[in-house]
Amino acid sequence: MSSLTILYIIIAGIIALLLALFLYKHKSNSHKTLNYLFGFLRFITIFCVLLLLINPKFEHVRYYTEKPNLIVAVDNSASIKYLNQDKNVLNFIETLTNNKELNDKFNIDFYTFGNAVNNSDSIGFSESETNLDNMFNKLSQVYKNTTAPMLLITDGNQTFGNDYQYTSSKYKQPIYPIILGDTITYTDLSIQQLNVNKYAFLKNKFPIECILVYNGNNTVNSRFEVFSGKNLVYSQPLSLSKNNNSIIVNFNLPANNVGVYSYKVSIVPLENEKNSINNSKTFAVEVIDQKTNIAIVSDFDHPDLGMFKKSIESNEQHTVSILKPNEILNKINDFQLFILYQPNNSFKKLIETLNTEKKNRLVVVGTKTDLIFLNLVSSFYKHEITNQTEDYFPALNSSYAPFIVDDIAFESFPPLKSHFGEITFSIPFESLLFKKVRNITTNQPLLGTFESNSRREGVLLGENIWQWRAQSYLNSKSFNGFDSFFGKIIQYLASNKRKDRLNLDYESFYNGTNGVIFNAEFFDKNYEFDARETLVIKVKDTISKEEKTFPFILKNNVYQVDLSSLPPSDYSFTVSATNEKISKSGTFKILEYNVEQQFLNANVTKLEQVATNSTGTSYFIANKNSFITEILKDNRYQFIQKESKNTIPLIDFKYLLFLIILSLAIEWFLRKYNGLI
For the CA atoms of 316, 474, 433, 389, the dihedral, rounded to the nearest 10 degrees, stands at: -110
Residue 362 is predicted with a pLDDT of 94
The span from the CA of 542 to the CA of 595, in Å, is 25
Q: Which pLDDT value is given to residue 529?
A: 79
80 within 8 A of 180, measured Cβ to Cβ: yes
Which residue type occupies 144? K
Instruction: Please list the residue range(s) of the chain that carry CATH number 3.40.50.410.
Output: 68-183+602-638
Instruction: Output the 3-class SS for 395-461.
Output: EECCCCCCCCCCCCCHHHCCCEEEECCCEEECCCCEEEEEEEECCEEEEEEEEEEEEECCEEEEEEC
Q: Please answer whether residues 294 and 337 qualify as being in contact, where contact means their C-beta atoms are separated by less than 8 angstroms.
A: yes
Distance CA 39, CA 42 (A): 5
- pTM here is 0.57
The predicted-structure confidence for 513-546, as pLDDT tens digits, reads as follows 677 899 998 887 766 778 888 999 999 999 899 9
Of 406, 589, 410, the residue nearest 484 (C-alpha)? 406
Confidence of residue 1 (pLDDT cuts 50, 70, 90): low
Dist. CA 228–CA 353, nearest whole Å: 47
**Closest to 595 in 3D by CA, of 263, 212, 261, 280:** 280
Once rounded to an integer, what is the mean pLDDT over residues 232-261? Answer: 89
Region(s) of the chain under CATH 2.60.40.1930? 502-595
Q: Which of 28-32, 303-307, 316-320, 411-415 has the lowest mean pLDDT?
A: 28-32
Fold for the domain defined by 502-595: Immunoglobulin-like (2.60.40)
Residue 634 binned pLDDT confidence (cut-offs 50, 70, 90): confident
DSSP state of 478: S
| Integer Cα distance of 632 and 643 in angstroms | 25
Count how many Cα atoms sit within 13 Å of the Cα of residue 45 in the half-sphere of its side chain: 16
Contacts of 142 (CB under 8 A, 6+ apart): none
Asked if pLDDT for residue 260 goes beyond 70, the answer is yes
Helix-helix angle 3-24:32-54, to 10 degrees: 150
Cα dihedral sign for 611, 615, 616, 620?
positive
Higher pLDDT, 105 or 35: 105
CATH topology for 292-494 is Rossmann fold (3.40.50)
Q: Which residues contact 327 (CB under 8 A, 6 or more apart)?
A: none
Do the beta carbons of residue 288 and residue 275 sit within 8 Å? no
pLDDT at 31 over 70: no
Please say if the pLDDT value at position 27 is more than 70.
Answer: no
Task: Report the pLDDT value the prediction gives residue 373, as an integer from 0 to 100.
Answer: 92
Residues of the chain with CATH 2.60.40.10: 188-288
Q: Does the pLDDT value for residue 637 go beyond 70?
A: yes
Alpha-carbon distances of 371 from 49, 209, 302, 346, 465, rounded to whole Å: 70, 50, 19, 13, 19
Give yes or no for residue 447 having a pLDDT over 70: yes
Reply yes or no on whether the pLDDT at 28 is more than 60: no
Q: Is the dihedral of CA 292, 298, 301, 307 positive or negative?
A: negative
Cα(669)–Cα(677) distance, integer angstroms: 10
Evaluate if residue 646 carries a pLDDT over 80: no
Q: 188-288, which class in CATH? A: mainly beta
Q: Considering only CA atoms, which of 398, 600, 405 is closest in space to residue 491?
A: 405
**In the prediction, which pLDDT does 280 show?**
86
Q: What pLDDT shows up at residue 111?
A: 93
pLDDT (tens digit per residue) in 466-499: 999 999 999 888 898 999 899 889 988 888 766 6
- At residue 602, the pLDDT reads 81
DSSP track, 482-511? HHHHHHHHHHHHH--PPP-SEEEE--SEEE
Mean pLDDT taken over the chain: 86
* Residues 178 and 619 sit within 8 Å (Cβ to Cβ): yes
Whether 148 and 173 have beta carbons less than 8 Å apart is answered as yes
Give Rg (Cα) of the chain. Answer: 37
Q: What angle do CA 534, 538, 544 make, to 5 degrees?
A: 165
**Which residues, at least 6 apart from 487, have a Cβ–Cβ distance to it below 8 Å?**
311, 312, 314, 315, 318
Q: In this model, does residue 659 exceed pLDDT 80? A: yes
Q: Provide the 8-state DSSP code for 355.
A: H
Is the confidence at residue 331, as pLDDT, over 90?
no
Q: What is the pLDDT of residue 32?
A: 65
Within 10 Å of residue 335's Cβ, how many Cβ atoms? 23
The neighbour count for residue 212, using CB atoms within 10 Å, is 23
Render pLDDT for 165-224 as a digit per residue (tens, 0 to 9): 888 888 999 999 999 877 666 778 888 888 888 888 888 888 999 999 888 888 889 999
Q: Which residues contact 224 (CB under 8 A, 6 or more apart)?
A: 210, 212, 235, 236, 237, 238, 249, 265, 266, 267
Residue 54 vs residue 140, higher pLDDT:
140
Q: Which of 236-245, 380-389, 438-447, 663-672 has the lowest mean pLDDT?
A: 663-672
**pLDDT tens by residue, 335-382:** 989 999 999 999 999 999 998 888 999 999 999 999 999 999 888 899
- How long a stretch of residues is the chain? 677
Instruction: For residues 439 and 540, give the distance between their C-alpha atoms in angstroms, rounded to a whole number.
Output: 48
Phi, psi of 340 (to 5 degrees): -95, 105
User: Taking 70 as the threshold, does the pLDDT of residue 598 lie above it?
Assistant: no
Q: Give the tens place of pLDDT for each residue, 547-597.
A: 999 999 998 778 999 998 888 888 999 999 988 889 999 999 888 776 666
pLDDT at 572 (0 to 100): 93
Instruction: Decide if pLDDT at 296 tops 70.
Output: yes
pLDDT over 90, % of the chain: 32
CATH code of domain 68-183+602-638: 3.40.50.410
- CB atoms closer than 10 angstroms to residue 346: 15
